[in-house]
Amino acid sequence: MSKAIITDVNRCVGCLACSVACKAVNTVPIGNYWNKVVRIGPNPIEGGSGQFPDVYMYFLTISCQHCENPECVKVCPTEASHFSDDGTIQIDKSKCIGCQFCVMACPYGVRYLNAEERVVEKCTLCEQKLRQGELPQCVSQCGGNARWVGDTAQGLDSFVGAYDSAGQQRKMLDFLEPFTENDIHHLPDVGNKPSFAYILRDHTWEGGDA
């Protein structure tokens, strides 16, 4: 079992609601983030003039990828960084000594030292909500229905998103426009095997590995 998020990049409008909601519910310090939104482009459309409207851009949400083979866990001298029962990577603050080995080992730069508490923090995938059967805050607050959470071991059919008007969780495969395996991308894999995935149709992926 490994909980993860899939983001439909074509549906993301860059509103930053996921970042703001994450900071609010997890009390992330000013100047730090658990979920960052990066703009790609604008880039010229192939065969176009290179000027508006012949351009495109999209947004990538970057956070802890809750990797299958995480370097952060390997280098932690106290086992503060560890796998939880649901396959996500968590930090036991009572064991963290603030050495920041994990910060240096993370290929995505998504960990930081909380200067006040002297412990490392990062995205927890809102484990406190997952344990109660709720959605991570970034998923439930996504107005574009671009973010979906599920279990990679159970396949794409397990991924669900924000509630519809009837109060039911949307199922990703019932809601999204069609996509192929070639449309599914990941951030660069340096042996850590990131669990999160991104769907991008009709544009050039610039997030690293295909």
Query: pLDDT of 23-61, one tens digit each?
Result: 999 999 999 999 999 999 888 887 777 778 888 899 999
Q: Which fold has domain 3-67+127-199?
A: Alpha-Beta Plaits (3.30.70)
pLDDT value at position 1? 64
Per-domain residue ranges for the chain? 3-67+127-199
| HSE-up of residue 139 (Cα within 13 Å, Cβ side) | 28
* Residues of the chain with confidence (pLDDT) below 50: 210
Separation CA 185–CA 206 (nearest Å)? 10
Q: Tokens representing 153?
A: 């071991």
User: What residues does 185 pair with on adjacent strands?
Assistant: 198
pTM of the model: 0.92
Virtual CA dihedral for 177, 158, 208, 143, nearest 10 degrees? 60
pLDDT value at position 167? 83
Separation CA 155–CA 18 (nearest Å)? 24
Cα separation of the two ends of the chain: 23
Under DSSP, the state recorded for 136 is P
pLDDT value at position 52? 81
CA proximity to 37, closest of 15, 8, 70: 15
pLDDT value at position 209? 63
The separation between CA 191 and the C-alpha centre of its own chain, rounded to angstroms, equals 18
Virtual CA dihedral for 40, 69, 7, 137, nearest 10 degrees? -110
pLDDT digits (tens, 9 = 90+) for 5-19: 999 999 999 999 999
pLDDT value at position 89? 97
One-letter amino acid at 117 equals: E
For residue 187, what are the contacts with CB-CB under 8 A and spacing of at least 6?
62, 65, 107, 108, 194, 196, 198, 207, 208, 209
pLDDT value at position 207? 80
